[in-house]
Every structure is written in structure tokens, then in C-alpha cells.
Amino acid sequence: MNALAELTRYYDEVSRCSRCGFCQPTCPTYKLEDGEADVARGRNALVRGVIEGRAVLDADSIRTVDECLRCGACVTACFAGVRTDRIMAAARAFYAEQKGRSRLAGFLMAGLLPRRRLLSALMKVLAWSKRTGLSRLARLAGWAGAWGRGLARAEGLVKEVPTSFFSDRLKPGTVLPALGEKKFTVGYFVGCRTEFLYPRIGLDTVEVLRRFGAEVRLFADPASCCGLPPYSYGYSQATRDLVRRNAEAIVREPCQWVVTEIGSCYHFLKEYGQLYGDDPEFGETARRAADKVVYLADFLAQAGPPRGLRAAYPRRITFQDSCQLVHLQKSARAPRELLKGLEGVDFREMEEASWCCGGAGAYTVSHPGQSEPILERKLGNLRATGADEVVVACQSCYLQISHGVRSRGMKVKVKHLAEVMEEATRPAAP
Amino acid sequence: MLKRLFSKKKAVPFAGLLPPGQVLSAPHERFPYSYDASNWRGEPSCVLIPRDSAELAACVRACRREGRRFIARGAGTNLSGATVAPDGEVVISLTRLNRVLELDPLRRRALVECGVVNLDLQKAASAHGLFFAPDPASQKASTLGGNLAVNSGGPRCLKYGITTHHVMAVEIIRPDGSLAWLGDPLGEAAGPDLRGLLVGSEGTLGIISRAWVKLLPLPKAARTALFSFPGVAEAVRAVSEIIARGIVPSTLELMDAFILKAVEQFHHAGYPQDAAAVLLAEVEGEEEDLGEMMGEVLEAARRHGCLSFQAAEDGESRARLWEGRRGAHAAVACLRPSVWVEDGTVPRNRLAEALERLQEIGRKEAIQVGYLFHAGDGNFHPLMLFDDRIPEEREKVRRAGGEMLKACVDLGGTITGEHGVGIDKLPYMEYLHDPVTLAVMGEVKAVLDPENLCNPGKLIPPAFLSGAAGLAPSGRPRPQEAREWVPGGLAEAADMIRRARLEGLSVRPGGGGSKAAAPDTGVRLSSRAMNAVLDFDPANLTLSAGAGLGVAEAEALAESRGLELGFAACFPGTATLGGALSCSDSGPWRESRGRLGDSLLGLEAVLPDGRIVSIGRKVVKNVAGLDLGRLWVGSRGGLGLVASLILKLYPKPPAEDLLVAACPDHAQAAAGLEALRSGGLEPAAYCLLSPALAERLGEELGLRPAGSGGMLVLADFRGRLGRSGALRRRAVGALTAGGMEPGFELQGENRRQVWDWLRQYGAGPEGGLLRLWGPAGALREWTNLARDHSLPLACHLGGHEAWLHYPSLDSLGPWLDSAARLGARFSRLKGEGPLRPWWPAGEAGVMARQIKDHFDPGGFFPELPSF
Ligand SMILES: Cc1cc2nc3c(=O)[nH]c(=O)nc-3n(C[C@H](O)[C@H](O)[C@H](O)COP(=O)(O)OP(=O)(O)OC[C@H]3O[C@@H](n4cnc5c(N)ncnc54)[C@H](O)[C@@H]3O)c2cc1C
Ligand code: SF4
Ligand code: SF4
């Protein structure tokens, strides 16, 4: 199918935008400069213009599309619920198709992401270079151009990298028994950020699931990526390959649900049905997979703590929504209920908690100029809560807010929901 | 370097005008400014993004220098194509002028930049227990500049009125880049109400850069209920009955069955599905009152066949009831790719009829239409479903829309109640306005924007923009023996004015003669024979009458049906409606009830050249064109003779109560007002009488509270207080705590007598009456001066205004000095003789002068006040 025809599949969706402007007040990129090119209305108008031949997507105008966080805040604000997030992904794919792609990025998306072992080996090298200080040296030496700068920022964002990855600790295919009475069987989906950056959070997730009475199964041959990055950046084929592989694995796994603790992965797994439900080859599988996926907080809230499990957390905390969870999956309640239900907790709601922190996957690396002021606004709201800890629901926020807190010398601790739940339900030492 | 100097690169427009990033000229940067919320498109040649008033003025000057036409753009949420650039105009985007510069909780005013988003002002105000009444459904996104420029409405207009009622003063950048302040932050500037002309002008006369707006105390409680009806006609009748009962809910929103179904499909708000219409009603006020008010609403609904009703028990259920209304547009929008919203208004008691005709049009064109009504205002929105990608469908919807608006006009309504004209409604302007009136709009535009730089091609049909040809100079009036002419009607008045001009006679329009003596030369043109009641429509809450109708007669007529005027002019015994209008004599309740101009829905006037202008209708929301009527407000006959008026009426409050207290001095009075307000007791008027005035009141009405001999405070309450002993005791307590000695509680006739006396005070040929407004410090100083000079002064503390009765111009010296020193202003209500304002007339004066010179070259009619 040619690229324009592919984009034109979104003609109906984009035409539902009535240009009412109601997305303006909630769009984090709009609020930077109040510019019409930086809000869903402007973005949709551009795409519609492209489809109707009144506008072009070129090296200049793609900025409008690229600077979208795909956070979905506009979808929540929108009368008609226009899915600007999907339209932007389609526009990126259209542009990439037209202009050809960067070889390096192409290799990363199509060659690397699906190959966990290869990716793993490469990540080890990067991790080692970070620990030894080699990477800083490389940065000082002005190693490489634009990509180099991106990598340098990426490298700067991460404070430390783990010595071993998640699958080094818990091998693929492992089945972990429930602690106490077994009530559920769940599969656990390991996202790339859990695998390579935050294995601790993954281990906590598994532990909490087990304490809540679940037998936890790890996929035998995981892909280590849900497909969101290649989708966001317009790599349609790579996306489709990953989706298909994951969907099949999810459906195959003998369990009631597949749980993930990463807000953005969860959202994308849920999108499988919408995006690929019509696929002649695996549409049915994509839909079934999507139905089977549950977010950690929803699962825990539904399951409820087993009798005798004490959950206490006597701290002053606040919660940062995962954009995709709150705006695109409309799940704002469960995480708050869980947290507020903890004994001794002092929960402070944060202003604009549902606003993106500027992390947005690779956005923080590719668009530091936008990402930093968005983060600044977030940190201001965070300070105003007076909380000692901010709880997040997605590793992307974890990375971004940790970087923000660290670089501004703030005392606030960043915790993932899974970490908080693990600590809160940890049995007293005998 | 050399190469660059000599390279033939095209000069970048506006280079160096603004810092980088604030001038957008690349195609991909301009594209997003080519649309608004309407279906119109047009790409600007350049977008300028100023960040403060100074940059904005520089932008306007640069445009003028380069001969570029420009369009002010706020959030671009208008529904009329008002901000698109069909001819590649320059767009000046105002979203960065977004600061609330000052918020004064004591005086209840805010100074805002034009790009502040409506909801952001609401947030800032609510921190002080205040709110800004205009609440267009787009308030989350739309800017105050846009709200002002379109004169927006909102669900709460029914109770609080439209945007212009809440705007005190605007700063505009004129098309030549000069800056003018119009209006007064605290009171009413003299002269034609140019502030009112600018509000609603859709950016065609200049760009509003900043504004002083009025804030109100947040209502203490609200109650919401949903009523279902077997038909829209029944619901509409219920609305009329609610209003006839004197209840003014803050909201009466009506939805038809089509919308109900859509809402239920997408929002599950729990709206009844068997009904053909539902009415969402909300009442606001004192907790104690609400039950009773809602009871009346229910009673009215029952009488008109209400099928069922749901009352919101708590915040959550209230939110749910509202969710259906708020999401109505959304729900309908999900049914087809596009929705087009029309915006008609008819007299409120003709809604049912209007609906029938509109439905017929929808059926004929085979369009799916849902109807959403701001029923209390007679304003409604047909939501027409179509697909804007299909030209035939676009055509069909457009055709139907035009016919619907024509039907509204035929029923005495208008073509746009709140969305504005822009480009979209231009073809319908001629349904509504006669050619002379349209030409006058065009002339006002041409006078104030001679190069047609500001938002050209919008609001006024281009055919009527042929330029400010104006009158052939006809010399100046010659001094001639004084005489009086008394026309019996509009045509005769026009004849007389033409004749006077031919004969070189100066003309001074007059009413009852309560405020100005007859001139000693030329013609006194009296409206007193044009005193007919033309149309009294209690159900619609309107009165149309000849300008010569006496104020007292109009009041009596309204009162005969439990209604009242929106102003309380001085000297009601002799003053006429036209005279009160020409002096903008709003009366003691200005701060709570609004300015006189705010209850003016329309008028007919004869211009100094004999042409007849007719503007407005019997509807409370009407933004079809320039608000020309405002030109005659306060212009004291300088722009011709006002022949008739259409006035908005208000239900009389269920009870009224006047507390009279002895007060040692100004400080105590101010403290008393604070104590009342902080106790949640909001007086409708709060007036301190100087010893000289208090003395006379005591003598003539026998009201001399113990401990008096000093000053008196009149604290007037309209509403609940009059019926509640407990509240009254609280009010008395507050005054006592403030250091006053409350003496009388007056109701009914007794209360009325006091106000009538005060309004009538100073009638008669001698002396004069000056209105002064200023900050608290100024009021204090004037009060002290009045005590020291033993002059009668009534100081309206709540309204930042003082009325000074002076025996002769010489005696005014101390007040004028004080006003000048404190930056306060005045206007004269009664009296003769030269009285020069201390402040420079500035650009506002220049504008008034330009208008005056255009319509009255040679100066046959009186000078405009204060210029
Ligand atoms: C879904 C929806 C609901 C709406 N609901 C309502 C409603 O309930 N009531 C209502 O009245 N309207 C409503 N509107 C219409 C619109 O939102 C209002 O007219 C609003 O006031 C426009 O504000 P804006 O900032 O978007 O102005 P814009 O659309 O940017 O401009 C509107 C007009 O004002 C002029 N303008 C803007 N700023 C200035 C300035 N500073 N100085 C001079 N001229 C200026 C522009 O030139 C233009 O003519 C609605 C619109 C939508 C899309
Ligand atoms: S997805 Fe987020 S950043 Fe993108 S337009 Fe919507 S609100 Fe703005
Ligand atoms: S809120 Fe939705 S319909 Fe309105 S402009 Fe934004 S995307 Fe378009």
C-alpha cells in the first residue's frame, strides 16, 4: 500500500476534529509557548491538510508531529475523543515511509528490538562503558554527531545501570509459585525498561503478585519490547513483527491474565486489538491478547490483599499518573485507591498529576528543549505537594522524574508503584 | 559578508520587529493559523506573537507602516470565521499576553491582559471567593480578549447578563498604533460609551490589549435539578412560567430528544429516555432560599406537564446532571464526522414557535438536527450533522442555517445571540438591519479605522463599507432666537432635524428638562410627545417605549406586573427614559444591577443629519454587528435624538429591606460594609449620606435614628433578608460591630419612600449634581469635604461612587482638586456652565471627537460631555 493511502486510513478520524480548541489547556507542548502548531488541533489540521493535498509533511512541518508527546491529554479533553496519539503515529510512519529512515534508528528498531539476546549483549557493553567512565570520555571527545548528542543526553539521564538484567535474575520460562494460597495464574510481561534499566522494579512486581496469591509465569521466549517505540517512530513493519510475536506469546501462555507494571507498555498491549484487530493473519490473536492484559494496579485492586496481608506505608506521598494509562486507558482510580488504602499513608494529590512529565519514551532524549521545561512545570507541582515520595506507574516517568529531582538537588524520592507495594506488604523480619 | 549584503534575498517582513520566534512567516508556521472553530479557512501571510502591550502596539504600528491588514486572534475558538485570513492578512496572536496583572478583592475588579484564558481568571478569582460571571462553554480555552470582542454569552447569562455587563474599561490599540483607555475601572466614563462599542466589535475597531473586569462574590450555594417533558413546547412554556414567577435561575438549559439519545449513548448521565425534552435548572444564592426557589421551579414545571424530575442530592449527582449537558455537543459530534452549530435568538416566549419552524426547515433539507437551548434567554443552537468533506452536504447545511436564522428574524429575533458575525453571518445581516443602520455601522468603522486595517471583511457586510463619505459640510449653526419643537413621532423628528440644519439652527434634544435647562439659542427638540408605550411584554421581560416616556411612568408600568427597570434614574418625576439614557443615569444600584446601558436592548435614533438608525430587538442576547446603541449612552444629545428604546426588565425581588443607621464617619461606614460582606450579607446598595443630606432626610421623612446628627448609612437588601428575622439581626449586628447605631428597618412603602426621596433630591432648576467615582481613599476625602463644607453628598460605597449636590460651579473647587490629585473622575448629571475635566481626554476623546465630527459636522448638536 502506498504511504498516502496508509495515512488516509486516518481520514475519518482526523476529520472528526472540529477545531474547537478544547485541547489547548491540557496539552503540555501547547502550554510551553501557546503556539497553534504545538497542540492537537494544529497537528490534526496538518495531517488533514496533507491528506487533502493542502499541506505537505516535510523537514519543516514534521516538527509539529515530532514534538507531540503522544500523551493523550488531548484525547481526554476532546469532545469527540479524537485519537491524536494514533494520528501522530500514522503521520510519523507516513513521513518515514516517504523520506526513508536513518539507518542507525532503523537497525535499532527492526534489527535489535526483536532480538533480546543481541540487544542484551549491546546493553551490557553500554552499561560497562557507563560504569567505567568510558562513556563520559567518549562524550568529551565529541564522539559522533546528532545521534551522539542524543546518546550523550540519554546516558546523562540514567544515573546508574544495573550489573545484571532482569532475565539474568529470573530466567525466561520460570514459573514462580504463589506465596500462600494460590488464587490466580498470571503471566508477567517484561518490558525493555524493566529488563535493562530497572530489573529491581520487575522483581518487586513479581514478588507483590505472588503475595497477592498469584502464580507468576515468565514467557519462555520474550521479545523484550511491546512494540511501542517502533510504532511511535513510524516503523510499521518492525511494529507489526513485534506485536505479532508478543500477541502469540500472550495468547499461548496458560494463564488467566498477563500483567505488566509499565503504564505505557500496558497501553500499547491494549492497543493490539484496535490497531491489528483487522489483520488477516493474526487479527483474532491480537484482539485476544489485548483482552488478556491487565495493569498491575487494576489487578491488585481487583484481587484485593489476601487475608492477613498487612499493607502499611507511613509516608507522605503523591502520585504521578502514567499519561497513557490515565488518558488512553482511562485508568486513574485503581492506583490511587491502592495507595490511599495503605495504612498510615499521607496521600497528597498533585496539581496536574495527569500531565506528562516530558519523559514520553525517547522524547526526553530527542527533544530536550521541550522536555526540560515540561519537566520543570511538573517539578514545581511536585514541590507544592510537600510529599517526600512521588509514586509513578511507568518507567518512563521514573527515569525522567528521577533525572529532574537529581539534577535540581531535590530531596524527593521517586518510587514505582510496584516498589511501594512491595515495601508496604513486606513481611516483618522474623 | 559582501556577498550577503548584495544577494537579492527578499526582505523578510517585520524583520527585527520582535525577538526571534515571534514572527512566523514560513508556510508550515502559518498554516496552523488558517482556521478557527468554524468551517472557514484562510492562511495569513505572517503571524506576529507579541508578549506584552508594548510589543502589541509595535506590531500594529508596523502593520500600518507596511500597509498590511491584520487580525487579532485569541484562542481561535470562535464559530464564525472571525479569525481566518481570506486575503492573507497578518494574524496577531495574543495568547502570550496572558497575565492577570492585578486582582483587587476589595474593589472586586481585575486588570487582565487580553490573552488570559477565561478559566484561568476564574481560578485566580476563586482564591478570593470571587468569580467572573461570563462563562462561555468554551471557557477552558477561549481568551478574555475573545470573550470581550465577541461579547460572549454562557449558561449563566440568564442571571448575570452577558460579557459587556462585566467589563468596566478596556485598553485598545487603535489601528494607527495609538493607545486608548475606554470606560472607567470603577464607574462610568462620560460621553458615548465607547467601551460598550468596542466590546462585541470582533476586532474590527482596534485590538483590546488589557481590560478592567468586574468580579462578583461566589454564590454560597446552588441547587440543580432535571425535569423531563413530553414535548419541547411544554418545556418552553414551563420556562416562561418560571420567569413569570419572578424566579431567576442561574441556568435554564433545554435539550431535545435527539440530543438526549446521543447523550445517553456516550455519557450515561442517567437522563430519562422516554422524554421529548429535558430542562436542566440551577438556582444559586443563600442556602435557605434555594429550597423555596426550586419548589417554584418544580411547581411551574408540573403545571406544564413535567413527566419526572431528578434533583441533585450532592456534588457528585450535580456533576452527573451537568455532564450530560456539557457533553451534549460531544455526544452529537460522535454521530457524524461534522456538526455545524447555528446560533439564533428569539423573544423567549416565542421559542416553541421558532422550534416548529426550524424543525420544518430541517425536515425539508433532510438534515439531522439536535436542539440545545439557553432557554431562559431565548437563545438556541441547532446542531446540524453532516460531513464537511462532502460539498453538497456543506451546501445543504449552510442553506438550512440561513433559512433558520431568517425564521428567527421573522419572529422578532436575531441571527446570532452569542457566536458573532465574522464572515459566516455576513449574508444574513441584511435580514436583520435596514440599509441605513448598516451604513452607519460601516461609517463608524471607517471613522475609527479609515484604512480598513483591522479585521477587514468581518462583521460588517463589505457593501456597506464604502467609506466615511459623511455629510456635505453644511456650515455652522447661527445664533438664532430660541424655540421649542415637539415632534410627535420618528418621521416628524427626522424632518425637523433636517429642517433645522437647512435653516442653520442649532438643536438641543431634550426630555423632561430635569437635568438641563432650555438652550438660549436655536431649537430645543423635545421628545416629550414621543411618550407612547410601544410594546410592553412582561412574559418576555421587555419594554419598548418612546424616549419621552417618564421614568416614573415606566417604573409604575413595570411594577404593575411585578417587574422593574434595570436602573433607577434621578428625578423620576420629571426625567424621561431618553434623558436618563443620554446621561447614563444608572442610579444607586449600579454596582449590583449594572449600568443603565446594560439594560438597553435596542433603540431608534435620529442622527444629526436626519437619518434614522434602528438597532436591537426584544432579545437579551444579540451580537449581530456593532453595538451602536452604546453611542447614545451618556452622549447627552450630542449624536442626535433618541426616539425610542427597548429595555430589559427584571423580576422584582421577593422582598426588600432597608436598614438606616447613624454613622459617625466614613471609616465606620466602610468597616460596616466589610463586616456585612464578610458575613455573607451582600447589600444591593450601600450609601453614606453627608450630615447636610442626612439632616434633610431626617427632617422631611422623620427618620432620625438615635445618636444621629452626624451621617446616615442606608444599607439596602434585596432578596431573602427582608423575610428572615435571623438574617436581619445578623446584618444589624454587623453594622453595630462596625461602630454604627442602626435605627430603622424599613420595608415596602417606607423603604421606597427613602429611595424616592433621595432620587428626587436636588430636582429643580438651581444647582447641579455631579457624579464622582474613585478609590476608597477618594470617597473618604469627599465625604470629609462634604461635612466640612456642609454640602449634600451621597456616597455609594459599594459602587465606588459619590453624588455631590452643588449650589454653584465655584463651590466645586475642593472636590475637583481632590479628584485630580487622587486620579478619580466625574461626570455631570445635572447643571449648566462650563466644567472642564481635569484629565486629558486622550485618545478616547479623539475617538469621540472623530465620531461626533463625522455625524455632526458643523456642530449643530450639543458638544459631547467632557470633550
Ligand atoms: C465548543 C464551543 C463552545 C462555545 N460556546 C460558547 C458559548 O457558550 N458562548 C459563547 O458566547 N461563545 C461560545 N463559543 C464561541 C467562542 O468560544 C467565543 O466566541 C469566544 O469568546 C472566542 O474567544 P477566543 O479567544 O477563541 O477568540 P478568537 O476566536 O480568537 O477571536 C474571536 C473574535 O475576537 C477577536 N479578538 C480576539 N481577541 C481580541 C482582542 N484582544 N482584541 C480585539 N479583538 C479580539 C477576533 O478578531 C475575532 O473576531 C463556543 C465555541 C466552541 C468551539
Ligand atoms: S498527545 Fe499530548 S502532546 Fe500530543 S497533542 Fe495531545 S496533549 Fe499535546
Ligand atoms: S479538542 Fe478534539 S475536536 Fe477539539 S480541536 Fe482538539 S482534537 Fe480537535
**What confidence tens digit (pLDDT) does each residue in B111-136 have?**
999 999 999 999 999 999 999 999 99
pLDDT score recorded for residue A141: 47
Query: For a pLDDT cut of 70, what percent of chain B falls above it?
Result: 96
B189-211 per-position pLDDT tens digit = 888 999 999 999 999 999 999 99
Copy the grid coordinates of residue B20: 526571534
Residue owning grid cell 506528562: A356
Contact residues for B248 (Cβ-Cβ < 8 A; gap 6+): B158, B159, B650, B651
Mean of pLDDT over chain B? 91
Q: Which of B93, B109, B124 is the last residue of a domain?
A: B93
CATH code, domain carrying B559: 3.30.465.10
- Among B791, B806, B788, smallest CA distance to B695 is for B791
Which residue of chain B is at minimal alpha-carbon distance from A77?
B140
Domains of chain A, residue spans: 3-99, 106-157, 166-293, 302-424
Find residues 370-389 of chain B whose CB sits inside 8 Å of chain A.
387-389
Nearest-CB residue to B35 (from A19, A37, A80): A19
The domain in which residue B716 lies consists of 655-830
Q: What is the pLDDT of residue A144?
A: 41
Query: Is 60 exceeded by the pLDDT of residue B6?
Result: no
CB contact under 8 A, A60 and B339: no
Listed by number, the residues of chain B in 82-111 with a beta carbon closer than 8 Å to a beta carbon of chain A are 93, 95-96, 98
pLDDT tens per residue, chain A (430 residues)? 588 999 999 999 999 999 999 999 999 999 999 999 999 999 999 999 999 999 999 999 999 999 999 999 999 999 888 999 999 999 999 998 888 766 667 767 766 777 777 777 777 777 777 666 655 555 554 444 444 556 666 767 777 778 888 998 999 999 999 998 999 999 999 998 898 889 999 999 999 999 999 999 999 888 778 999 888 888 888 899 999 999 999 999 999 999 999 999 999 999 999 999 999 999 999 999 999 999 999 999 999 888 888 899 999 999 999 999 999 998 889 999 999 999 999 999 999 999 999 998 888 888 889 999 999 999 999 999 999 999 999 999 999 999 999 999 999 999 999 999 999 999 876 6
Element (H, E) at A48: helix A40-51
Query: Is the pLDDT reported for residue B274 higher than 80?
Result: yes
Predicted local distance difference test score (pLDDT) of residue B269 = 74
Nearest to A79 among B35, B117, B329 (CB): B329
CATH architecture assigned to A302-424: 3-Layer(aba) Sandwich (3.40)
Local confidence band at B321 (pLDDT 50, 70, 90 cut-offs): confident
Residue ranges in B644-774 assigned as alpha helix (H): 666-678, 691-701, 725-737, 748-760
CA distance B335 to chain A (A): 9
Distance, CA of A169 to CA of A159 (rounded, Å) = 21
Ligand having the closest approach to the CA of B333? 3
Q: Are residues B345 and B404 both part of a single domain?
A: yes
Give the ipTM of the model, two decimals please: 0.92
CATH number at residue B407: 3.40.462.10
Question: What string of DSSP letters covers B787-821?
Answer: HHHT--EEEEGGGTEEEEEESSGGGGHHHHHHHHH
- One domain for residues B611 and B709: no
Question: What is the Cα–Cα distance from B731 to B726, expressed in whole angstroms?
Answer: 9
What CA–CA distance (Å, rounded) separates B252 from A398?
47
* CA distances for A153 relative to A367, B93, B506, B635, B744, angstroms: 10, 34, 80, 66, 77
Indicate which CATH number applies to the domain containing B75.
3.30.43.10
> Does B850 share its domain with B813?
no
Same domain for B237 and B363? Answer: yes
A21 → chain B, closest CA residue: B77
pLDDT in tens, B171-192: 999 999 999 999 999 989 888 9
What pLDDT sits at residue A162? Answer: 81
- Same domain, yes or no: B306 and B416: yes
> Which listed CATH number (3.40.50.1100, 1.10.1240.10, 1.10.1060.10, 3.40.640.10) goes with A3-99?
1.10.1060.10
Residue B739, domain member (yes or no): yes
Residues from chain B contacting residue A18 (CB–CB below 8 Å): 37, 333, 338-339
Kindly state whether residues B762 and B780 are assigned to the same domain.
yes
The three three-digit cell numbers of residue B852, written as one number: 461626533
Percent of chain B with pLDDT over 90: 72
pLDDT digits (tens, 9 = 90+) for B563-579: 999 999 999 989 999 99
Q: Pick from B620, B613, B612, B574: which is nearest to B594 by CA?
A: B620
Place of cell 506465596: A179
How far apart are the C-alpha atoms of A176 and A217, rounded to whole Å? 6
CA distance A142 to chain B (A): 29
pLDDT per position as a tens digit, B776-786: 889 999 999 99
Give the residue carrying C-alpha cell 570520555.
Answer: A137
Ligand 2: atom nearest CA of A85 is 1
Q: Which pTM value belongs to this model?
A: 0.94
The whole-number pLDDT of residue B707 equals 61
Q: Whose CA is closest to atom 2 on ligand 1?
A: B138
Residues 43-62 of B with CB under 8 A from A: 49
Distance A26 CA to ligand 2 centre (A): 8
For residues B423 and B554, state if they share a domain: no
Identify residue A166 by its one-letter amino acid code: F
- Alpha carbon distance B206, B59 (integer Å): 12
Q: Mind listing the pLDDT tens digit for each residue in B365-406?
A: 999 999 999 999 999 999 999 999 999 999 999 999 999 999
In a domain, B453, yes or no: no
Separation of alpha carbons A111 and B43, rounded Å: 43
List the CATH number of the domain containing B705. 3.30.70.3450
CA-closest candidate to residue B501, choices B476, B470, B469, B484: B476
Q: Report how many domains make up chain B.
A: 5
pLDDT higher than threshold 70 for residue B471: no
Query: From the CA of B430, how many Å to the nearest CA of chain A?
Result: 28
Highest averaged pLDDT of the listed ranges B306-315, B320-329, B636-645: B636-645
Q: Are residues B129 and B81 in the same domain?
A: no
Whether B433 is covered by a domain: the verdict is no
Instruction: Say yes or no: A61 contacts chain B, CB-CB below 8 A.
Output: yes
Range from B63-77, B584-598, B722-736 carrying the lowest mean pLDDT: B722-736
Among B32, B49, B327, the residue with its CB nearest the CB of A45 is: B32
Helices then strands, each counted (H, E), chain B: 27, 36
CA B548, CA B657: separation in Å to the nearest integer?
Answer: 32
**Chain B residue numbers touching A81 (CB-CB < 8 A):** 330, 334
- B472 pLDDT tier (thresholds 50, 70, 90): low
Q: Contact, B468 vs B443, CB < 8 A?
A: yes
**Residues of B in Cβ contact (< 8 Å) with A25:** 117, 119, 140-141
Evaluate: CB of B595 within 6 angstroms of ligand 1: no
